[in-house]
């Protein structure tokens, strides 16, 4: 199943956008599906208050999972991770109008 098909399957089964995006990718490196779904729950509906889009939240968690900063003495790693978030947010906003 492609990522798109997997995400659509989660969404069709009553999971929110954040859960859908995060879980589709988080299971690849071995995160348990149930745990991924739980982690993504509270980010749906703009973190339950209509703010940042759940799709964006889920995607940022995926980027963090793959490229996140985890070494306190590595500022380059941190800067790179942040640059990916900035670029993703910019591209998402250009296509959708904003990240909200």
Total-model pTM: 0.89
Residue of 51, 28, 2, 71 whose CA lies nearest to 18: 51
Residue of 55, 66, 56 whose CA lies nearest to 26: 66
Could you report the per-residue pLDDT of 78-95, keeping only the tens digit for each?
A: 999 999 999 999 999 999
Could you report the per-residue pLDDT of 10-25, keeping only the tens digit for each?
A: 999 999 999 999 999 9
* Distance from the Cα of residue 27 to its chain's centroid: 13
Could you report the per-residue pLDDT of 34-53, keeping only the tens digit for each?
A: 999 999 999 988 888 889 99
Domain membership of residue 29 as a residue range:
3-96
What DSSP designation does 70 have? Answer: -
Residue in this structure with the two tokens 């941190």, named with its chain if needed: 78
- Say how many domains are in the chain: 1
Both tokens of 22, joined, read 């995060």
């Amino acid at each position: 199943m492609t990522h798109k098909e997997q995400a659509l399957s989660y969404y069709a089964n009553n999971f929110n956008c954040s859960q859908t995006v995060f879980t589709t990718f988080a299971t690849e490196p071995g995160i348990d599906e149930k745990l991924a779904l739980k982690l993504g729950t509270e980010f749906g509906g703009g973190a339950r208050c209509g703010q940042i889009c759940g799709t964006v939240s889920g995607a940022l968690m995926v980027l963090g999972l793959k490229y996140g900063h985890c070494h306190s003495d590595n500022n380059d790693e941190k800067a790179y991770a942040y640059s990916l978030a900035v670029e993703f947010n910019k591209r998402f906003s250009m296509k959708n109008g904003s990240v909200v």
